[in-house]
Structure 1
Amino acid sequence: MPQQVPNVSVSDLPEDVTLLDVREPDEWAAGHAPNAVHIPMGELAERLAELPAEGNVYVVCRGGGRSSRATAYLNANGWDATNVDGGMKSWHAAGRPMVSEAGAEPEVI
């Protein structure tokens, strides 16, 4: 049975949070939340020191699958992590701000 992880909808996500984006570099470059921390899921275990030791970490990916696994991993290793339900697709659909690294119109790929 899969481990249950805490989830929050984009509409219920507090404004000033630590948002961890675990998508791949090309996905990040196309469009991401301003001020998000980018650590691709495959690098998470070796880059844990980049996350704040205190407070909740909200984890996002494209649709919620990778971020759910990353949330479970973080919670098992001492963080208070919550998965952002629906990922960046829901973030974008809700009209939350996005930026891109290439200067183009941000998009979720």
Structure 2
Amino acid sequence: MTDLPSTTVADLPAELPEGVVLLDVREDDEWAAGHAPEAVHVPMADIPARLDELPADADLQVVCKAGGRSARVVAYLQQAGRQATNVEGGMLDWQAAGRPLVSETGAEPTVI
């Protein structure tokens, strides 16, 4: 997986511009515990079956917990002809940077 486009949380604008989608590929329990408010959730294993749910012309910024799963998803998306970038450091860096998190559980949002 060489030459994958990548970025860092620090380089992502606080408000994503039109046409940019933050795609969270973590598992359901990770998503429920804490995620970016504007993110779209499609677990990594579901990407092939749910590819049509992602806007074809979107610039997909792909995030997981630390960057490993998202890198694999970026490689897959590129093979499928999609524009995708790996967010290095993932949601751990997102949380460490003080970026907003929301929870689906009613508990304080956190990255697990």
Does TM-score exceed 0.5, indicating one fold?
A: yes
Matched, 1:25 2:24: no
| Distance in structure 1 (CA, Å) of the matches to 2:2 and 2:25 | 19
Residue 44 of structure 1 pairs with residue 47 of structure 2: yes
**Deviation string, structure 1 residues 54-81 (Cα, Å, up to 9, x no partner):** 1310000000000000011001111100
| Separation in 2, partners of 1:33, 1:88 | 8
> CA RMSD for the aligned pairs?
0.9
Q: What is the aligned partner in structure 1 of residue 111 from structure 2?
A: 108
TM-score scaled by length of structure 2 = 0.92
**Structure 2 residue ranges without an equivalent (≥5):** none
Aligned to 1:53, the other structure's residue is in SS state coil
Q: Percent identity?
A: 62
- The question of whether the paired residues in 2 share the 8 Å contact of 1:3 and 1:72 is answered with no
For 2:75 and 2:2, the matched residues in 1 are separated by 7
Contact 1:19 1:36 in 2 (8 A): yes
In structure 2, distance between residues paired with 1:50 and 1:3? 27
Structure 1: 5+ residue runs without aligned partners?
none
| Secondary structure of residue in 1 paired with 2:85 | strand
Q: Which amino acid aligns with 2:63?
A: V
TM-score, reference length from structure 1: 0.95
**What is the aligned partner in structure 2 of residue 63 from structure 1?**
66
In 2, the alpha carbon distance for the partners of 1:4 and 1:31 equals 30
SS in 2 for 1:81: strand
Give the aligned length: 108
